[in-house]
Amino acid sequence: MNYKTLLLIFLVLIMTACGTARQSVGPVPPQSTSTEETSMQDMEADQPPQQPTETYYDFDDVPVPTQMELQPKQSIIFETPGIKSGVIVFTGRVEPLSLFNYFLVSLKNEGWHLRSYFKYQRYIMVFEKPTKDCIIRIIEDGRTTELQIWIIPKLKDTIDYFKDTPPDAPEQPISQ
């Protein structure tokens, strides 16, 4: 056989293979038997449940990423029957800008309204709800990042609360 004949046979084989290949314009629905479906369900059941990416601490409307670790010795909470405020401090190995973006989204989802912020060299975010404010402070310190969450009641509501409470009012237990 000469060189041209071999090349022609090779081209014909390639063209035939390309012509018989299955072409798909969109997604092809999977064709499975009930045995395959069962094994897929078993595989999904064997996978461990996904770990939560956030958790709530003393303030039930401020989620915190699970990568941040609570620092109780640096935190303080003040609570009366009508007011709950304070600062909770966390540390972790999280990028400050990532935390900033996290709180932009998560606090909006919790009903907070962003009033203002500082970004980059120092991160400070101020959110509000009708009766309280939330201040998020993010501090980068070498290898770790410190997160401070401040919750404070609005001054007018605090004054009204104490003004409406008679001096001889019996103490009410703090609900938990």
Q: Where are the domains of the chain?
A: 54-164
Q: Count Cα atoms within 13 angstroms, Cβ side, for 71.
A: 14
Q: Is the pLDDT of residue 128 over 90?
A: yes
Q: Is residue 17 within a helix (H) or strand (E), and if so which, with residue range?
A: helix 3-20
pLDDT digits (tens, 9 = 90+) for 75-116: 999 998 888 899 999 999 999 999 999 999 999 999 999 999
pLDDT for position 36: 45
Q: Is the pLDDT of residue 44 over 90?
A: no
Q: Is the pLDDT of residue 145 over 50?
A: yes
CATH number of 54-164: 3.30.310
